[in-house]
A = this chain, B = another copy of it.
Amino acid sequence: MSEQDLEICPASAGLADCPGFRVAGVSCDVRNKGDNRLDLALFVTEPEAAAAAVFTKHALPAAPIQLGRDSLAEHPFLRAVVINSGNANACTGADGLEDALRMRGVVTKELGLPHESLVLVSSTGRIGERLPMERLTKGIAEGASRLTSDSTEGERAADAILTSDTRRKVATIRFRCQGKTLTLAGMAKGAGMIEPNMATMLAFLATDAAVDPAFLKTALREAVQDSFNAITVDGDQSTNDTVLLMANGHSGVFLETDRDRSLFTQALRMLCQDLAEKIVGDGEKITKVVEILVEQAHSKAEAEKAARAIGNSLLVKSSWYGNDPNWGRVADAVGYSAAAVAEDTLEIYYDTVPAFLQGKPCWENREQWRKIVAEPRFTLRVVLGQGDSSYRLLASDLTEGYVNFNKSE
The interface-forming segment of A109-117, A145-153, A398-406 is A398-406
Interface residues in A198-254 by Cβ distance below 8 A to B read 234-239
Please give me the residue from chain B that is nearest to A317 by CB atom.
B403
Cβ–Cβ < 8 Å partners of A238 in chain B: 332, 336
Given known A-B contacts A59-B339, A59-B340, A60-B346, A406 and B332 have beta carbons under 8 A apart: no
Q: Which of A94, A336, A405 lies at the interface centre, i.e. has the most chain B CB atoms within 10 A of its CB?
A: A336
* Given contacts A59-B336, A332-B127, A335-B59, A409 and B236 within 8 Å (CB-CB): no
Contact between chains at A127 and B328 (CB < 8 Å): yes
A346 — nearest CB in chain B belongs to which residue?
Answer: B60
- Chain B residue numbers with a CB within 8 Å of A60 are 331-332, 334-335, 341-343, 346
A333 contacts partner chain B, Cβ-Cβ < 8 Å: yes
Q: Is there an interface contact between B318 and A406, defined as CB atoms closer than 8 Å? A: yes
**Contact call B336/A197, Cβ cutoff below 8 A:** yes
Proximity string of chain A (350-366) to chain B, C-beta cutoff 8 Å, 1 when within and 0 when not:
00000010011100000
- Report A217 CB to chain B, min CB distance, Å: 23
A356 CB contact (under 8 Å) in B91, B192, B237, B339: B91
Cβ of A98 within 8 Å of any chain B Cβ, yes or no, is: no
A48 vs chain B, min Cβ distance (A) = 33
Q: Which residues of B contact A344 (CB under 8 A)?
A: 93
With contacts A60-B334, A335-B59, A407-B322 taken as known, whether A93 is within 8 angstroms of B343 at the C-beta atoms is: yes
Most buried by B among A235, A312, A337: A235
Which residues of chain B have C-beta atoms less than 8 A from A127's C-beta?
328-329, 331-332
Bound CA span A12–B324, Å: 39
Task: Write the nearest CB–CB distance from A379 to chain B, whole angstroms.
Answer: 20
Mark A residues whose CB is within 8 Å of B.
Answer: 57-61, 90-91, 93-94, 126-129, 192-193, 197, 234-239, 312-315, 318-319, 321-324, 326-329, 331-344, 346, 356, 359-361, 398-400, 402-409
A-B contact pairs, 23 of them (CB 8 A): A58-B335, A59-B337, A59-B342, A60-B341, A91-B328, A91-B331, A91-B356, A93-B359, A128-B328, A128-B356, A192-B315, A236-B315, A236-B332, A237-B336, A238-B336, A239-B335, A319-B406, A319-B407, A319-B409, A322-B406, A399-B403, A402-B403, A403-B403
The 9 closest A-B pairs by CB, nearest first: A322-B407, A127-B328, A93-B359, A60-B335, A318-B406, A322-B408, A324-B408, A400-B400, A237-B336
